[in-house]
Structure 1
Amino acid sequence: MGFEEFKNRNISEDYVVVQEDNYPKTSWDTFKQVVTRSVKGELFTGLKITFKMMTGALFNGEMATVQYPAEKLPIGPRYRAVHRLLVLLESGEERCIGCGLCEKICIANCIRMETRVDENSRKEVLEYTINMGRCIFCGYCAEVCPELAIVHGGRYENVSEQRASFSLKEDILTPFDQLNQQTEFAGFGSVSPDADEKIKKTPLSY
């Protein structure tokens, strides 16, 4: 194989050689080429759809954009967002019995718990923190909890300038004055709709 054949070994007969004579020579030729390639039927079809959506949003109230944070889209009841620590409705005491299963199963190693045995020989939870900066929201802690003490809530806005704000128990524990607003997880072991009547028949002593 000669040198010229070696240089032209990849040239096929199907290749199209671009001629320099086809390129615009003047500014007017460039303008005509841009207009010819830009102004086509597809352009007006897109403008028609855009104008239809704009008039519907302005005059017919068909706004598709959610004005966040003033407006928020509804989320599912099983959405796994920031954790919530539930309490017993009849007494207001924490449901957590300090078993430590959530701390052991946490694959992100973000749950810390400190417990002690009180004077009544019951385990008492002193500190319970979840580092939201490390949590991957897998849901294992909520699944393994035997008392349904920890569940995933619907609050997904978890923003702070300090890392210390990501692990406050007071932020996820149900306050005593908001017991009537506590929503139960509709799963195995959750409170039944007639729980109030059952509690009145079988009161618990705390």
Structure 2
Amino acid sequence: MSLEQFKNRNVGTQNYTTVDVGRKPETAMEQFSQVAKRTVKGELFVGLWVTMRSMFKALFKGDMHTVKYPFEKMPISPRYRAIHDMLRLLESGNYRCIGCGLCEKICISNCISMDTRYDENQRKEVSEYTINFGRCIFCGYCAEVCPELAIVHGPRYENAAEQRAGFSLFEDMLTPLDKLNLQQEYDGFGAISPNADENIKKTPLAY
């Protein structure tokens, strides 16, 4: 199309096709008849057949295009900051936390509370450790500052609760002994060393 033809706004020279839409129904009976004719058209049953066919494949043939949550979950990134996990030593099964309290001090939302004590081997251990997930903003500072990589962010992200005060105890975040071989390790500063059991007994003084 040339520029002159584009500038020509005379609609009388255009070739339009008139569509016969019929007469507008006036009475109630004519309106009902129009609705009934449009309802029983083939396009409606074609759409219903496509829906029923997809439902039949999903229910009886296993052709499901959705995730069966919570039985199936989508994979998440390894850098995703979800519910915290407390890791254990792979050799002895003891927990790595030395009770230094750095995670409690660096927490900007003031949601970590911990208390320590000395056991019979004069090794400082955690007697009480709680995280209020109602206040936690999952910033990751506690995991970054931990010198022993004892606290990390795990893959659990279901933290819904009926109460606003959602606490998680130390035992709830600790890796179970029967799943110690499935514990995921992280490289970097504070990673586990071959002689970690001997080094972890040399803990700092109580703060």
Task: State the TM-score bracket (shorter-chain normalisation).
Answer: 0.5 to 0.7
1:110 maps to 111
Give the aligned CA root-mean-square deviation in angstroms: 3.7
Question: Does the C-alpha gap of structure 1 residues 58 and 180 become closer, same or farther in structure 2, counting only changes over 3 Å?
Answer: closer
Tell me how far 1:23 sits from its aligned partner: 7.5
Q: Residues 55 and 190 (structure 1 numbering): CA distance in 2 closer, same or farther, change over 3 Å?
A: farther
The answer to whether the 8 Å contact 1:75/1:154 transfers is: no
Give unmatched runs, 5+ long, in structure 1. Answer: 1-21
Q: Distance in 2 between matches of 1:143 and 1:41?
A: 63
Q: Kindly indicate whether the alpha-carbon contact (under 8 Å) linking 1:81 and 1:153 is maintained by their aligned counterparts in 2.
A: yes
* Residue 198 (structure 2) aligned to one of 190, 195, 204: 204
1:93 maps to 94
Counterpart of 1:136? 137
In structure 1, give the amino acid aligned to 2:159.
N
How far does the alpha carbon of each residue in 1:45-65 deviate from its partner, in whole angstroms, 9 at most, with x for none?
Answer: 644542442243245421123
> Any residues of structure 2 matched to 1:65-80 within 5 Å, and which?
65-69=66-70, 71-76=71-76, 77-80=78-81
The answer to whether the Cα contact below 8 Å between 2:112 and 2:132 also exists between their aligned partners in 1 is: yes
State how many pairs are aligned. Answer: 177
For the residues of structure 2 that align with 1:47 and 1:36, how far apart are their CA atoms?
Answer: 17
Decide whether the 8 Å contact of 1:84 with 1:173 is kept in 2. yes
Given residue 105 of structure 1, which amino acid in structure 2 is its aligned partner?
I
What is the rounded CA distance, in whole Å, between the counterparts of 1:106 and 1:64 in structure 2?
41
Distance 1:46 1:168, change over 3 A: same
Compared CA separation, residues 46 and 79, structure 1 to 2 (3 A): farther
Q: Structure 1 residues 105 and 58, CA, compared in 2 at 3 Å: closer, same or farther?
A: same
Structure 2: gaps of 5 or more residues: 1-22, 202-207
Matched residue SS, 1:79? coil
Quickly say closer, same or farther: Cα 1:50–1:124, change in 2 above 3 A. same
TM-score (norm 2): 0.63
Query: What is the SS of the residue equivalent to 1:151?
Result: strand
Seq. identity, % = 62
How far, CA to CA, are the matches of 1:142 and 1:50 in structure 2? 48
Cα-to-partner distance string for 1:83-135 (whole Å, 9 max, x where unaligned): 11112112322212223232233232211122356787765433211112222
Q: How far apart, in 2, do the equivalents of 1:111 and 1:40 lie?
A: 65
* Deviation for aligned residue 1:73: 1.7
Q: Is the 8 A contact 1:160 1:166 kept in 2?
A: no
- Answer yes or no: is the 8 Å Cα contact 1:112–1:128 preserved in 2: yes
The DSSP-based 3-state class of the residue aligned with 1:167 is strand
The alpha-carbon deviation at position 33 of structure 1 amounts to 4.7
| Mapped partners of 2:95, 2:89: distance in 1 | 6
Question: TM-score, with normalisation over the residues of structure 1?
Answer: 0.63
Paired residue secondary structure (2:138): coil
**The residue matched to 1:204 in structure 2 has which SS?**
helix
